[in-house]
Amino acid sequence: MSKLTAFERPPKARPGAAAPHQFRLLGKKVLITDEHGRWALLTRSEYDRFVAGIGPEDPLWPVLQPRGFLAGAFDFDAAARRQFERSLLSWKGPGSHALLLDGMDLDGARRTVEFVFSCPGPQLTLELIFDDADAVWPVVWFIVQYARRKGEWSRRPVFLIARARTMSPDQADFLRSHGVTRCADLALDGKPDMSKAPAFRAQRARARLGPGAAEPAAWARWLEKWGFESARLLPASLDEKGAAAFASFHSGFLGWLLEHGEESNLRDEWVLGLLGGRLWNLPGMDVLEQLAYDGAGRVYTSEAAAGDAELALGSVSTLRYQDLPRLPATGAVIAASHPDNQPLCAQCAYRPFCAVPPSINKNYQGSVWGQTPSSAACSVQMGIMDRILESLNDEKCLNLLNKWSVDMV
Amino acid sequence: MKSKKKTAKKAPKLSPKKKPAAVAPKISSLEAALTLDVKTEGLEPVFGAAYLMMDKAFVLLSGDRAGKITVVLRPKDPKAFKPKALAEEFLSDLASQKVRWAISRNNQPVREFIAEQAVLIANGTIPPPAAPAAEEPAAEELTAEQRAEIEKLISEVESEIKTMNEKKSVPDPKGIKASWEEKQEQENKA
Question: Do the Cβ atoms of B99 and A7 come within 8 Å?
Answer: yes
Question: Do the Cβ atoms of B118 and A11 come within 8 Å?
Answer: no
ipTM here: 0.88
Res A2 pLDDT > 90: no
Q: Measured between CB atoms, does A169 come within 8 Å of chain B?
A: yes
Percent of chain A with pLDDT over 90: 83
d(CA A238, CA A371): 14
What interhelical angle do A133-154 and A169-177 show, nearest 10?
10
What interhelical angle do B180-189 and A169-177 show, nearest 10?
140
Instruction: For residues A61-80, give the mean pLDDT.
Output: 91
Residues from chain A that touch B154, judged by Cβ atoms under 8 A, are 106, 110, 142
pLDDT (tens digit per residue) in A143-190: 999 999 999 988 899 999 999 999 999 999 999 999 999 999 999 999
pLDDT (tens digit per residue) in B80-103: 999 999 999 999 999 999 999 999
Res B2 pLDDT > 50: no
- DSSP-derived letter for residue A72 is G
Give SS3 for A6: coil
Give B1's pLDDT tier (boundaries 50, 70, 90): very low
Give SS3 for A350: coil
- pTM listed for this prediction: 0.85
Q: Measured between CB atoms, does A157 come within 8 Å of chain B?
A: no
Res A334 pLDDT > 80: yes
Res A367 pLDDT > 60: yes
DSSP annotation string for A102-171:
TT--HHHHHHHHHHHHHS-SS-EEEEEE-SBHHHHHHHHHHHHHHHHHHHHHHT--EEEEEEESB--HHH
Given a contact cutoff of 8 angstroms between Cβ atoms, the answer to whether B30 and B74 are in contact is yes
Nearest by CB: B98 against A1, A10, A153? A10
- The pLDDT, as a whole number, for residue A408 is 75
pLDDT (tens digit per residue) in B36-72: 999 999 999 999 999 999 999 999 999 999 999 999 9
- The pLDDT, as a whole number, for residue B179 is 59
d(CA B38, CA B190): 76
pLDDT (tens digit per residue) in B11-40: 444 444 444 445 678 988 899 999 999 999
- The pLDDT, as a whole number, for residue B142 is 72
Rg of the Cα atoms in chain A: 22
Give B10's pLDDT tier (boundaries 50, 70, 90): very low
pLDDT (tens digit per residue) in B146-173: 788 888 888 887 787 677 666 545 556 6
Q: Measured between CB atoms, does A134 come within 8 Å of chain B?
A: no
Instruction: For residues A296-308, give the mean pLDDT.
Output: 97
Question: Do the Cβ atoms of A74 and B110 come within 8 Å?
Answer: yes
Nearest by CB: A106 against B154, B178, B188? B154
The partner residues of B157 in beta bridges, in order of sequence, read: none
Domain A92-409 belongs to what architecture?
Answer: Alpha-Beta Barrel (3.20)
Which 222-251 residues of chain A touch chain B by CB within 8 A?
none
Residues from chain B that touch A7, judged by Cβ atoms under 8 A, are 92, 95-96, 99
Q: Measured between CB atoms, does A404 come within 8 Å of chain B?
A: no
Nearest by CB: A110 against B114, B121, B150? B150
**Residues near A379 by beta carbon (within 8 Å), at least 6 away in sequence:** A3, A240, A243, A244, A247
| Cα B73 to chain centroid, rounded | 23
- The pLDDT, as a whole number, for residue A227 is 95
Instruction: For residues A272-287, give the mean pLDDT.
Output: 90
Q: Measured between CB atoms, does A71 come within 8 Å of chain B?
A: yes
Q: Which residues of A331-341 are buried (b: 16+ CB within 10 A; e: fewer)?
A: ebbbebbbbee
Q: How many CB pairs under 8 A join A and B?
A: 171
CA within 13 Å, CB half, B120: 12
In chain B, % helix, strand, coil (3-state, to 5) comes to: 50, 10, 35
Res B140 pLDDT > 70: no
Question: Do the Cβ atoms of B18 and A8 come within 8 Å?
Answer: yes
Question: Do the Cβ atoms of B121 and A89 come within 8 Å?
Answer: yes
Residues from chain B that touch A11, judged by Cβ atoms under 8 A, are 99
**Secondary structure element (H or E) that encloses residue A83, with its range:** helix A76-86
- The pLDDT, as a whole number, for residue A56 is 92
Q: Measured between CB atoms, does A165 come within 8 Å of chain B?
A: no
Res A74 pLDDT > 80: yes
Among B140, B161, B167, B170, the residue to mutate for chain A (most A Cβ within 10 A)? B140
Question: Do the Cβ atoms of B129 and A84 come within 8 Å?
Answer: yes
Percent of chain A with pLDDT over 70: 100
Among A51, A74, A84, the residue to mutate for chain B (most B Cβ within 10 A)? A84
- The pLDDT, as a whole number, for residue B132 is 42
Domain ranges in chain A are 11-86, 92-409
Which 255-294 residues of chain A touch chain B by CB within 8 A?
none
Among B161, B166, B179, B185, the residue to mutate for chain A (most A Cβ within 10 A)? B179
Mapped to the 3 state alphabet, what secondary structure does A197-228 carry? CCCCCCCEEEEEECCCCCCHHHHHHHHHHCCC
- The pLDDT, as a whole number, for residue A198 is 95
Q: Looking at the complex, report in whole angstroms how far the Cα of residue B150 sits from the nearest Cα belonging to chain A.
A: 7
Give A116's pLDDT tier (boundaries 50, 70, 90): very high
- The residue with greater pLDDT, A108 or B171, is A108
Domain B2-11+20-107 belongs to what architecture?
Answer: 2-Layer Sandwich (3.30)
